[in-house]
Amino acid sequence: MYEPLKINISESDANARTISIDVDVYNADDNTLEESFSEYGKFDINVGQSVEVDLMRLCQQHFDANVFKLGVLSDIANAKDIPVSKYTYSFKIYSDTTATQTIVKKIPIIGGRDFYDFVPTVSNTQVLTEADLYNVDLTGRWKNYPNISVSLKSISASDLTPTISVTTETSANSEPCGGMLIWKSRFGGWMYWGMDISTKSLSSKYSGGLTVGMFEATSGGNPYVEVDYTKIDTSYSVTLKALSLTSEELEAVAGINSSVAVYYMKNSSAKLELMRVTSASAPISNLIGGGDFSVSLKSISTSSQKSR
């Protein structure tokens, strides 16, 4: 979705002056027509000259990114419109002199590769996580914690929604003592990693002002200070570390810096809390074989109380 998909359009008829693109939008799950746009794109051409069009720019104009409503692991398996678009786009290309349409069909992956990973061809076997890209096997690592996999379907299938599998690991030897991070990969799928160490710190902030003056006394003569500040807001931060990763594993987890959504799974209860990444370090050096992966997170949700 967020990388170029350029096509070159030419017309052999010398009398042609414009190239038009109609767009039909289908539901990915049952292939029913949702919307049709006539001349969604229209381009002037010169005699004997072609025109270059980026189809993903047309998709981005229509695409409405969904809200991530994830609170437990099972929500990931059901949210099939997060890895790929919930719409299939059919581009119908023709000119003002040639009514016969050339059709290009596309279901966009919600993501984008960087410069060195980009290749023009994208198929249903496209890698969807950094772990896939660097051949890091995430299965069988963390007991009582999930394995998450996403696989795409062929563009010719009637149901183009991806298959998302979330299973609990039972054969691994140990649990991650610091919980697990799960994040949306920039390539479209879901990345995750078990953390070895966690450190939690609380922070609070008063709103309003405390009365400054002499203490009061009850009718019985007992002294007290009035509680008359307006409100207190409380949040927390957590620092996580995973130890002794290989170079390939560090390459894979470094993608957390490019994620739009990072969730913290504190224990094996399957609850997911959306967190804000304040810093993430996965130092990669060609002089050593690996290193540690550390992430600092801050809670987005804040609890508040008022005294009166």
CB-based burial, 46-73: b 16+ in 10 Å, e otherwise: eeeeebebebbebbeeebeeeebebeeb
What backbone torsions phi and psi does residue 126 show, to the nearest 5 degrees? Answer: -60, 140
Which of 225, 220, 178, 219 lies closest to 199 in space, CA to CA? 178
Sign of CA dihedral 165, 168, 174, 176: positive
Q: In this prediction, what percent of the chain has a pLDDT beyond 90?
A: 61
* Residue 286 clears pLDDT 70, i.e. is over it: no
Residue 212's pLDDT is 61
- CATH number at 1-68+85-109: 2.60.40
What tens digit of pLDDT does each residue of 238-273 get? 999 999 899 999 999 999 999 999 999 998 888 999
pLDDT in tens, 163-207: 999 999 988 888 999 999 999 999 999 999 999 999 999 888 877
CB-CB contact of 55 with 5 (8 Å) = yes
> What residue segments make up the domains of the chain, in order of their start?
1-68+85-109
- Token pair in block for residue 251: 């390459």
Q: Which of 208, 150, 147, 191 is nearest to 172 (CA)?
A: 147
The sign of the torsion formed by the CA atoms of 52, 154, 138, 67 equals positive
Average pLDDT, the chain: 89
Q: What pTM was computed for the model?
A: 0.86
The mean per-residue pLDDT over the stretch 282-286 comes to: 78
